[in-house]
């Protein structure tokens, strides 16, 4: 659509998007204003149209691409300054791939990752190195992510080898001791090896390493999933406290909605490479409008036995389709009890659904469903 051309009211109603979103789409631009962080904070990270396709090849001598695994296929979100955004979804929905692209371990196939307004997804060399310092990752499995042959001091201090400007050689051990203290470990453990620590302690070491360069953003990829339930809360509380102490912004990835609730200001629910619903913690847990979110919530453990009896369990039929061949239209439709013909034909936009537009209240948040409706699942 050429500049200056108007978008009709009908187009707007049919698409479920805002006029600004449609205009940007028509111009092939990403809309950086439309996903303003709902928490009202200044966005530190803006992700638009993020795509990662892994090529599927055939043949040994002559390799031919026969398709692609659409691991991430058009993800948009904002991360506000000092905010925690939880990203939740089943195994294989693309959460880790998003995380890897945010910290530049993977290059996006398309889309933009703006850090303080600058697209960092295409940076290289010095400029990339400078930005990477500010966005660090905490990995899922503290048993495999720490080198067993390195001492804790060397593991935590390793980032200083790449960024010596943060800590000159003489000051490094002292800095590592301080970091051990910050994450609740005895600084005297600096010469110990990973196998001498418990799972929770190892994750604290991973967090200390993530903090070494004083980043502004931490991307935590299932940081507590490999830990005992009793230890999970301690590590989540530590992350919460560090956020206050160091003014950190978090992207916190998990496969379980119950884990991210405590720590998240906002939550995005992913399904087969896309975010299907995103909103504040209250909007997602108390006023979900997407059937997939409602199904995930219905599986969250409820401690109160009486409340448990009254809650409705939504059992989804079938398996998650292959990301190499996702369903047309709405990707969730093959497992959705509400699916109708429209769902196979039209991709639902991640926007406030038509029925909630102009309505004040927690149901009016972004949900990619043609037949979105509010349903309270957790009693």
Ligand X SMILES: Nc1ncnc2c1ncn2[C@@H]1O[C@H](COP(=O)(O)OP(=O)(O)OP(=O)(O)O)[C@@H](O)[C@H]1O
Residues of this chain that bind ligand X (CB under 6 A)? 54, 69, 71, 89, 91-97, 255, 323
Q: Which is nearer to ligand X, 96 or 136 (CB)?
A: 96
Distance CA 36, CA 178 (A): 36
Question: CB–CB of 74/21 below 8 Å?
Answer: no
For the chain, the first-to-last Cα distance in angstroms comes to: 47
What number of other Cβ atoms are within 10 A of residue 365's Cβ?
A: 24
Listed in order, strand segments (DSSP E) in the chain are: 43-58, 64-80, 84-88, 110-115, 118-119, 135-138, 217-221, 249-254, 266-271, 274-280, 366-367
Q: Which is nearer to ligand X, 94 or 291 (CB)?
A: 94
SS3 45: strand
Q: Which is nearer to ligand X, 26 or 324 (CB)?
A: 324
Q: Order of strands, edge to edge, in the sheet holding 274-280? A: 135-138, 217-221, 249-254, 84-88, 266-271, 274-280, 366-367
Shortest distance (Å) from residue 63 CB to ligand X: 14
SS3 46: strand
Q: Which is nearer to ligand X, 216 or 222 (CB)?
A: 222
Question: CB–CB of 48/111 below 8 Å?
Answer: yes
Shortest distance (Å) from residue 223 CB to ligand X: 13
Shortest distance (Å) from residue 76 CB to ligand X: 17
Q: Which is nearer to ligand X, 70 or 287 (CB)?
A: 70
Question: CB–CB of 249/83 below 8 Å?
Answer: yes
Distance of CA 246 to CAs 37, 54, 261, 378, Å? 20, 36, 21, 33
Angle between helices 172-182 and 199-211 (to 10 degrees): 130
Go through the chain and tell me how many residues it has: 379
Shortest distance (Å) from residue 112 CB to ligand X: 19
Q: Which is nearer to ligand X, 92 or 362 (CB)?
A: 92
Shortest distance (Å) from residue 232 CB to ligand X: 16
Q: Which is nearer to ligand X, 226 or 236 (CB)?
A: 226
SS3 148: coil
Shortest distance (Å) from residue 109 CB to ligand X: 12
Shortest distance (Å) from residue 276 CB to ligand X: 13
Q: Which is nearer to ligand X, 89 or 194 (CB)?
A: 89
Shortest distance (Å) from residue 272 CB to ligand X: 9
């Amino acid at each position: 659509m050429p500049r200056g051309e108007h978008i009709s009211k009908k187009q707007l109603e049919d698409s479920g998007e805002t006029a600004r979103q449609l205009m940007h789409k028509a111009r092939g631009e990403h809309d950086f204003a439309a996903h303003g962080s709902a928490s009202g904070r200044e966005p530190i990270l803006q992700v638009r149209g993020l795509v990662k396709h892994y090529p599927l090849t055939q043949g040994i001598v002559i390799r031919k691409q026969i398709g692609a695994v659409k691991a991430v296929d058009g993800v948009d979100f904002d991360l506000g300054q000092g905010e925690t955004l939880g990203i939740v979804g089943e195994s294989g929905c693309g959460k880790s791939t998003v995380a890897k692209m945010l910290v530049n371990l993977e290059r996006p196939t398309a889309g933009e990752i703006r850090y303080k307004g600058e697209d960092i997804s295409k940076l290289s060399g010095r400029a990339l190195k400078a930005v990477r310092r500010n966005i660090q990752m905490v990995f899922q499995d503290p048993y495999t992510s720490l080198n067993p042959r390195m001492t804790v001091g060397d593991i935590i201090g390793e980032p200083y080898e790449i960024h010596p400007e943060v800590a000159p050689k003489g000051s490094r051990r002292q800095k590592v001791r301080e970091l051990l203290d910050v994450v609740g470990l005895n600084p005297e453990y600096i010469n110990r090896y990973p196998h001498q620590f418990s799972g929770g302690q190892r994750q604290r070491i991973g967090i200390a390493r993530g903090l070494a360069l004083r980043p502004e953003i931490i991307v935590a990829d299932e940081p507590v999933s490999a830990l005992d339930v009793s230890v999970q809360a301690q590590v989540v509380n530590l992350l919460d406290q560090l956020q206050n102490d160091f003014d950190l912004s978090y992207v916190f990835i998990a496969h379980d909605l119950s884990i991210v609730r405590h720590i998240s200001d906002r939550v995005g629910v992913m399904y087969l490479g896309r975010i299907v619903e995103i909103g504040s913690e209250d909007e997602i847990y108390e006023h979900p409008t997407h059937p997939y979110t409602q199904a995930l919530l219905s599986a969250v453990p409820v401690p109160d036995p009486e409340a448990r009896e009254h809650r409705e369990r939504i059992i989804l039929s079938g398996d998650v389709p292959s990301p190499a061949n996702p369903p047309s239209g709405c990707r969730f439709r093959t497992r959705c009890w509400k699916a109708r013909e429209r769902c196979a034909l039209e991709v639902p936009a991640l926007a406030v659904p038509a029925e909630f537009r102009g309505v004040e209240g927690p149901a009016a948040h972004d949900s990619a469903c043609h037949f979105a409706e509010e349903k309270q699942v957790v009693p």
